[in-house]
Every structure is written in structure tokens, then in C-alpha cells.
């Protein structure tokens, strides 16, 4: 049996075994190890076949590799940026030594197996069937990334539509770009592009937490941008682009510093670094704080707070930063009376110690104006698309609008990739 038929057949068998047999044949943590072991057979088979056919999967194309890193970083950046307005979440996975030994192979081995298969089939695609092979392999890898039992749960048109928009379309777009990267730059490029977001989602202690609709659109947009850039660098202009990139290497240090500052900014908003910067958006604490200042809040035990300290506390609407003017204890619980420096009277209700978010220890003047402006713009834009626009065209229905936008963008990406690859096939045949 030819490898181009053998490998997809082997993937299908492994997919069925891990979806139907393994969950019922094993119990407990052994299920995860058995799942990884079955997928490892694909890795062994492809390495054996590629060695005997002298297929060089590991050859590194620097430009393709750089692009893979750039697009993966762009996807993460866009998700992080939008999460400044829509919220972050803590990673639910806790990596203990036991978890690394059991669950990490469960995540890593199938990813490696699928990418090895994708890269091998993309590299060995014939010129006459290059486009068909890349698209077919991408669809196969996408379909086998979802457990078989999940398809059985799609019993309504709504659940099917959500699966297509939430999972299938973004994953297909990602795999099409990975296949194209593998075809031009080999396994290192495609694996790097897939691995960076995967490792970020596995190991980052905080994660972007936008609505799945926004996340799906960002992934499709990032892959489309990557496809366009990949097409550009594969053209005769690649030497000029390479010279430009080489001139910019001396700026790597500065871009690294900027990236580190951005990363620290993201982490600081979650409180994981021990402090949280908060932009002052009202005049209640004038003249201590002016609108646009940033107050640095640190987490302290409520018992250490004294009269005169400025604290941040949670309310049903939004966190408030006011000064403590009195402290009482009742039933073993501390109650804080607070007041804004510019307010004529104290706050209407005392603050329970459980509401305390931290104490203000430092002020950075005016640096918060950018955050306030961005948040106001984001809030206005979000209100327009979620309230104003749906109400204006309520007869169409918000679900139809959002679904149509995602499906249209994904179909446009797929059509563009198909036409571009077909055009490449035509040009190659024309030269022959």
C-alpha cells in the first residue's frame, strides 16, 4: 500500500480505536497513557517510512520558520489584546509532576502524530495533485482532532452550527496554513506554528477568555494574514524581504524589551505578580488621585489595614478606591467605613473584610488615560455591535448575523487558499 493511502488509513484506525475502544478498555489515568501510546504508533510509522524513502521532513527553511513564529505570536497577541476588554481567566490545569507524566503525553503525542502526518503528506504531494492533497489532508486532520463521541452529541442544527463556527472552521483554517507551511518549509515550520499556541494554552498560568465567537474570528483572521505573508515571501521578492529582515535584526533587543513589558502588563492585571494597576476613572478621590492616574494595589491581610489607608474594595457594580476613616469589629469580622476624599460624606454602607481587594501603595500620574480611552472606545464599540446594531436589524436576527460573518470569512479564506494553490499548480505545469 502506498504511503499516501497507508498514512490516512492508519490515522483513521487510530482515531477510531482511541475514540471507541480505549475509553472502554481502560479505566482511570491509564486511559490517557493508552491514548498517547496508540497515537505514538503513527509517529513510529511515519518516521520509519520517511527514513526508507529519504523524505527530508526536518529540513529547516528559515523564512518559513520565522513566519510560523510570527503568525503564532500574532494569534496569541490578538487574543490577549481583546481579553484586556473581555477578561482573562486562570488556567484550570495545575502541572504537578504526576500530571506532567500522565496528561502531557496525552496532549503532546496526538499533536506530534497529526503534524508528522500532515507534513509528510504535504511534502510528498505530487505537482498534479498538490492542491487536492493539501486541502484533503487539512480536512482529515481537522476531523480527527475531535473525539468521535462529540459528533454524536450534535443532534440539533444549532449544535452543528456552533461546532462548525467554534471548532471546525478555526481548526481547518489553522491546518490549511500548517499544511502550506509544511509544503514550503518542512515539519519544523508547521510544527512550530501549531506548537506555540498549544504550549501557551497548556502552560500559561493566565489565559485569554474572550467569547468563543471572538476567539474563532481572531484565529481565522490570523491564519488568513499568515497565508498572505507566506505567499509573499515565496515569491521572487523574497530576497528583498530577507534583506529587510536582516537590517532589522539589530532591533531585536528593543522588540524583546517591548514584548517583556507587554507580558508584564498582562500579568499585572491578573494580580499574579502581587500587585494590580488600577486606572482612576472618577473624581471622588481628588486631589489624592486625579482622573487618569494609576493606583498600584497590593494584596494585604485586612487585619493590617489602618485608618487613613486607601483601599480598593469590590461592589456589585465595579471596584471602588476610597480612604478608610473608621474600623470596627463585629462577630469576628472587620468592617471598614470608607469615604472619597472629594465626597461630602462617608460611603452609604460599610465594607466587609471579604470585599477588600488590596491597599493602594503607589500612584503613577496620568498614565491611565490611555487605558480609560481604550476601554471607553471598546465599550462603545461593543455596545454598538451587541445592542444598537442587533436592535436596528432585529428582523434578521443576531444569531444569523454572527454565524453568517464567521462562515463567510472562513469560506473566503478556504476559497482563497484553494485558488492560490491551484494557481501555483498551473504555473508549475506551465513551466514544465
- CATH number assigned to the domain comprising residue 343: 2.10.109
The SS3 of residue 29 is coil
Position 242 in a domain: no
Q: Are residues 33 and 173 in the same domain?
A: yes
Whether pLDDT at 247 is above 50: no
The angle at the Cα of 425, spanning 423 to 430, to the nearest 5 degrees, equals 95
Q: Are residues 158 and 30 in the same domain?
A: yes
CB atoms within 10 A of CB 323: 22
CB atoms within 10 A of CB 274: 9
Q: Name the band, by pLDDT with cuts 50, 70 and 90, for residue 34.
A: very high
Question: Which grid cell is 317?
Answer: 457594580
Whether pLDDT at 308 is above 60: yes
Most confident of 86-100, 117-131, 340-354, 410-424: 340-354
Average pLDDT over residues 78-101: 81
Position 197 in a domain: yes
Q: Are residues 171 and 114 in the same domain?
A: yes
Distances (CA, A) of 239 to 8, 60, 121, 235: 37, 17, 28, 9
Total domains in the chain come to: 2
Average pLDDT over residues 51-68: 78
Q: Name the band, by pLDDT with cuts 50, 70 and 90, for residue 110.
A: very high
What integer pLDDT is reported at residue 126 of this predicted model?
A: 63
Question: Which grid cell is 184?
Answer: 514550503
In DSSP notation, 213-256 reads HHHHHHHHHHHHHHHHHHHHHTSTTHHHHHHHHHHGGGGHHHHH
Instruction: Locate all alpha helices (DSSP H) within 248-384, ordered by sequence.
Output: 252-270, 369-383
Least confident of 96-110, 262-276, 277-291: 262-276
The mean pLDDT value of the chain amounts to 76
What integer pLDDT is reported at residue 55 of this predicted model?
A: 67
Rounded to whole angstroms, how far apart are CA atoms 397 and 390?
7
What integer pLDDT is reported at residue 38 of this predicted model?
A: 93
CB atoms within 10 A of CB 197: 18
Q: Are residues 126 and 16 in the same domain?
A: yes
Task: Check residues 6 and 256 and name the one with the higher pLDDT.
Answer: 6
What integer pLDDT is reported at residue 241 of this predicted model?
A: 40
Rounded to whole angstroms, how far apart are CA atoms 29 and 272?
30
Question: pLDDT digits over 90-106, tens only?
Answer: 888 878 888 888 899 99
Question: Which grid cell is 394?
Answer: 432585529
CB atoms within 10 A of CB 427: 10
Q: Name the band, by pLDDT with cuts 50, 70 and 90, for residue 321.
A: very high
Q: Which domain holds residue 221?
A: 3-235+407-431
Position 245 in a domain: no
Whether pLDDT at 230 is above 80: no
Q: Are residues 78 and 206 in the same domain?
A: yes
Long-range contacts of 341-345 (CB under 8 A, 24+ apart): 341/284, 341/285, 341/286, 341/287, 341/288, 342/283, 342/284, 342/285, 342/286, 342/287, 343/284
Position 278 in a domain: no
Q: Are residues 219 and 347 in the same domain?
A: no
The closest alpha carbon to 197, from 95, 69, 107, belongs to 69
Q: Which helix (H) or strand (E) holds 138?
A: helix 130-143
The SS3 of residue 106 is helix
In sequence order, the 6+-apart residues with CB closer than 8 A to the CB of 26 are 34
Position 247 in a domain: no
What integer pLDDT is reported at residue 158 of this predicted model?
A: 66
Question: Which grid cell is 119?
Answer: 507534513
Q: Assign 3-state DSSP to the chain and report helix, strand, coil percentages, each to 5.
A: 65, 10, 25
The closest alpha carbon to 232, from 420, 12, 373, belongs to 420
Whether pLDDT at 426 is above 70: no
Question: pLDDT digits over 136-163, tens only?
Answer: 888 888 888 888 877 777 777 667 777 8
Average pLDDT over residues 335-357: 92
Least confident of 32-36, 52-56, 171-175, 193-197: 52-56
Average pLDDT over residues 108-136: 81
Q: Are residues 17 and 158 in the same domain?
A: yes
Whether pLDDT at 279 is above 80: no
What integer pLDDT is reported at residue 162 of this predicted model?
A: 75
Task: Check residues 210 and 199 and name the one with the higher pLDDT.
Answer: 199
Rounded to whole angstroms, how far apart are CA atoms 142 and 170?
9
- Given 349, 369, 389, the domain boundary residue is 369
- Given 320, 348, 369, the domain boundary residue is 369
Position 376 in a domain: no
Q: Are residues 300 and 213 in the same domain?
A: no
Q: Are residues 293 and 212 in the same domain?
A: no
Q: Are residues 155 and 229 in the same domain?
A: yes
Question: pLDDT digits over 7-33, tens only?
Answer: 888 999 999 999 888 888 888 889 999
Q: Are residues 66 and 170 in the same domain?
A: yes
In sequence order, the 6+-apart residues with CB closer than 8 A to the CB of 89 are 206, 207, 208, 209
What integer pLDDT is reported at residue 307 of this predicted model?
A: 92
Position 34 in a domain: yes
Q: What is the CA radius of gyration of the chain?
A: 27
Position 93 in a domain: yes
- Given 369, 389, 418, the domain boundary residue is 369
Distances (CA, A) of 298 to 312, 356, 362, 404: 9, 11, 9, 45
Q: Are residues 350 and 420 in the same domain?
A: no
Whether pLDDT at 269 is above 90: no
Whether pLDDT at 429 is above 90: no
Whether pLDDT at 397 is above 90: no
What integer pLDDT is reported at residue 236 of this predicted model?
A: 46
What integer pLDDT is reported at residue 411 of this predicted model?
A: 55
Amino acid at each position: 500500500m502506498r504511503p499516501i493511502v497507508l498514512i490516512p488509513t492508519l490515522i483513521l484506525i487510530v482515531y477510531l480505536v482511541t475514540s471507541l475502544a480505549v475509553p472502554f478498555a481502560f479505566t482511570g489515568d491509564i486511559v490517557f497513557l493508552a491514548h498517547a501510546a496508540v497515537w505514538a504508533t503513527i509517529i513510529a510509522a511515519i518516521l520509519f517510512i520517511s527514513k526508507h524513502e529519504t523524505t527530508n521532513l526536518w529540513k529547516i527553511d528559515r523564512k518559513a520558520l520565522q513566519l510560523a513564529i510570527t503568525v503564532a505570536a500574532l494569534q496569541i497577541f490578538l487574543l490577549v489584546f481583546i481579553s484586556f476588554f473581555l477578561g482573562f481567566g486562570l488556567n484550570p490545569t495545575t502541572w504537578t509532576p504526576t500530571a506532567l507524566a500522565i496528561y502531557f503525553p496525552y496532549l503532546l503525542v496526538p499533536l506530534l502524530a497529526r503534524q508528522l502526518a500532515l507534513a509528510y503528506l504535504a511534502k510528498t504531494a505530487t505537482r498534479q495533485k498538490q492542491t487536492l492533497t493539501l486541502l484533503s489532508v487539512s480536512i482529515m486532520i481537522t476531523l480527527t482532532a475531535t473525539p468521535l463521541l462529540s459528533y454524536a452529541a450534535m443532534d440539533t442544527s444549532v449544535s452543528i452550527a456552533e461546532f462548525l463556527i467554534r471548532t471546525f472552521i478555526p481548526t481547518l483554517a489553522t491546518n490549511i496554513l500548517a499544511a502550506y507551511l509544511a509544503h514550503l518549509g518542512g515539519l519544523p515550520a508547521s510544527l512550530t506554528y501549531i506548537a506555540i499556541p498549544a504550549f501557551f494554552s497548556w502552560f500559561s498560568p493566565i489565559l485569554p477568555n474572550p467569547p468563543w465567537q471572538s476567539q474563532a474570528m481572531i484565529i481565522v483572521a490570523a491564519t488568513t494574514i499568515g497565508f498572505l505573508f507566506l505567499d509573499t515571501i515565496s515569491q521572487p521578492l523574497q530576497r528583498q524581504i530577507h534583506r529587510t529582515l536582516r537590517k532589522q535584526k539589530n532591533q531585536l533587543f528593543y522588540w524583546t524589551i517591548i514584548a517583556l513589558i507587554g507580558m508584564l502588563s498582562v500579568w499585572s492585571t491578573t494580580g499574579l505578580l502581587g500587585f494590580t494597576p488600577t486606572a482612576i476613572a472618577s473624581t471622588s478621590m481628588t486631589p489624592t488621585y486625579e482622573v487618569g492616574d494609576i493606583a498600584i494595589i497590593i494584596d494585604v491581610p485586612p487585619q493590617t489595614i489602618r485608618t487613613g489607608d486607601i483601599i480598593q474594595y469590590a461592589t456589585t457594580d465595579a471596584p471602588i478606591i476610597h480612604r478608610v476613616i473608621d474600623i470596627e469589629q463585629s462577630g469576628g469580622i472587620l468592617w471598614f467605613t470608607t469615604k472619597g476624599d472629594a465626597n461630602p460624606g462617608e460611603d452609604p454602607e460599610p465594607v466587609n473584610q471579604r470585599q477588600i481587594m488590596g491597599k493602594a501603595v503607589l500612584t503613577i500620574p496620568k498614565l491611565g488615560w490611555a487605558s480609560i480611552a481604550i476601554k471607553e472606545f471598546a465599550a462603545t464599540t461593543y455596545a454598538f455591535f451587541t445592542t444598537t446594531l442587533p436592535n436596528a436589524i432585529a428582523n434578521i436576527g443576531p444569531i444569523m448575523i454572527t454565524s453568517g460573518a464567521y462562515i463567510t470569512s472562513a469560506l473566503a479564506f478556504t476559497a482563497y487558499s484553494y485558488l492560490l494553490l491551484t494557481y501555483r499548480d498551473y504555473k508549475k505545469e506551465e513551466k514544465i
